[in-house]
A and B are shown apart, each in its own frame.
Chain A
Amino acid sequence: EPVLTKGNNCLDAAKACNLNDTCKRFRSAYITPCTSSTSNEICNKRKCHKALRLFFDKVPPKHSYGMLFCSCRDVACTERRRQTIVPVCSYEDREKPNCLNLQEICKKNYICRSRLADFFTNCQPESRSVSSCLKENYADCLLAYSGLIGTVMTPNYIDSNSLSVAPWCDCSNSGNDREECLKFLNFFQDNICLKNAIQAFGNGTDVNVW
């Protein structure tokens, strides 16, 4: 039984993308390397990541965010949303590294280091603010989050029931750094600023930014 049967916002965003020449071109430009298997690998992850970065760099947010941050009411929709970045290539790996180790790898790369710093700055939660963000700017938070796609810190939705996201890592084998590791991971998984930003885009409620 096919999973995707009824229409939904994520499907509408995909349709809109393919009717726009720029979005269509850069979408195919990442679907191609992210789904082409090489002799002993599922895909060339490096090429897939590079094409994903190009997609989010070149395609107007209306289209790129439309597919990544679409609001959903059923599994057909959330599954499509989860597939946006072709997670089998860009996200998943044989093993899940420790998040602090992954952060170290990220810091050795110029793009990853700067984009992770942007993410921690622009998606910083603040419970006392109206938006739940310290910076009170959803657009900057979404830009910083989508900027991580195509780095070793590539995040994705972790299940189909919520807007919880995480990079491909966990906090097992953290030793004495367990608390620090969980703090890092929870900044992704349990971030009210990021969740509100995604929700506001999906519902089209953050009118002054777009």
Chain B
Amino acid sequence: KGRRNQRGKNRGCVLTEIHLNVTDLDLGYETKEELIFRYCSGSCDAAETTYDKILKNLTKKKKLVTDKVRQACCRPTAFDDDLSFLDDNLVYHILKKHSAKRCGCV
């Protein structure tokens, strides 16, 4: 299941979700609670802005000194609501900005 990027191009960059145990996150918590983790994945190959287009063209022509110019990446543009859970020692924890809500090529 995933949601399409609304902006037309870069249809490959989508929100995907996976059902996990909190312990699967490897953040050091001991708990039996679970969560839905949403992440952004997919290609951002179709250049989205003129800036990206220029970078691509200049890279092709080898006009840039630095060989590694960053292309647009499929990343969260907004995060999901906070997640709270009770650990095995009866202590509450809250995770912030842990899961994506919307994705975009940025």
Do A14 and B94 touch (CB < 8 A)?
no
> How many A-B Cβ pairs are below 8 Å?
63
How many chain B residues sit at the interface, stated as a range, is 20 to 34
Do B85 and A79 touch (CB < 8 A)?
no
A53 lies within 8 A of chain B by Cβ: no
Given contacts A11-B33, A18-B34, contact A80 B82 (CB under 8 A): no
Partner of A83, one of B32, B35, B86: B86
A88 CB to closest chain B CB, in angstroms?
Answer: 10
**Chain A's interface: helix, strand, loop or mixed, by majority?**
helix
A11 to B87, CA, bound (A): 11
A7 lies within 8 A of chain B by Cβ: yes
Partner of B86, one of A21, A29, A80: A80
Given contacts A35-B92, A80-B86, contact A2 B81 (CB under 8 A): no
CB under 8 Å from chain A, chain B span 17-40:
19, 30-36
Question: Could you say which residues of chain B place their CB within 8 Å of the CB of A205?
Answer: none
Question: Could you say which residues of chain A place their CB within 8 Å of the CB of B34?
Answer: 15, 18-19
Do B89 and A31 touch (CB < 8 A)?
no
B98 CB to closest chain A CB, in angstroms?
Answer: 11
A75 CB to closest chain B CB, in angstroms?
Answer: 11
CB under 8 Å from chain B, chain A span 1-57:
2-5, 7, 11, 14-15, 18-19, 21, 24-25, 27-29, 31-32, 34-35
Question: Could you say which residues of chain B place their CB within 8 Å of the CB of A59?
Answer: none
Do B94 and A35 touch (CB < 8 A)?
yes
Partner of A19, one of B36, B82, B84: B36
Do B32 and A31 touch (CB < 8 A)?
no
Do B90 and A14 touch (CB < 8 A)?
no
A143 lies within 8 A of chain B by Cβ: no
Given contacts A2-B89, A35-B94, A83-B90, contact A28 B33 (CB under 8 A): no
Partner of B32, one of A4, A21, A35, A79: A4
The 0/1 profile, CB within 8 Å of A marked 1, for residues 30-52 of chain B is 11111110000000000000000
Do A86 and B92 touch (CB < 8 A)?
yes
17 A-B pairs whose Cβ atoms sit less than 8 Å apart in the complex:
A2-B88, A2-B89, A3-B89, A4-B32, A4-B90, A11-B33, A15-B32, A15-B34, A19-B34, A24-B81, A24-B83, A24-B84, A28-B82, A32-B82, A79-B90, A80-B86, A80-B90
Q: Which 4 A-B pairs have the closest CB atoms?
A: A2-B88, A31-B84, A28-B82, A28-B84
**Given contact pairs A25-B81, A34-B92, a sample of 12 additional A-B residue pairs in the complex whose CB atoms are under 8 Å apart:** A2-B89, A3-B89, A4-B88, A7-B32, A14-B33, A18-B34, A18-B85, A24-B81, A25-B82, A31-B84, A31-B92, A79-B90
Task: Using CB atoms and an 8 Å cutoff, list the residues of chain A in contact with chain B.
Answer: 2-5, 7, 11, 14-15, 18-19, 21, 24-25, 27-29, 31-32, 34-35, 79-80, 83, 86
Task: Using CB atoms and an 8 Å cutoff, list the residues of chain B in contact with chain A.
Answer: 19, 30-36, 81-90, 92, 94
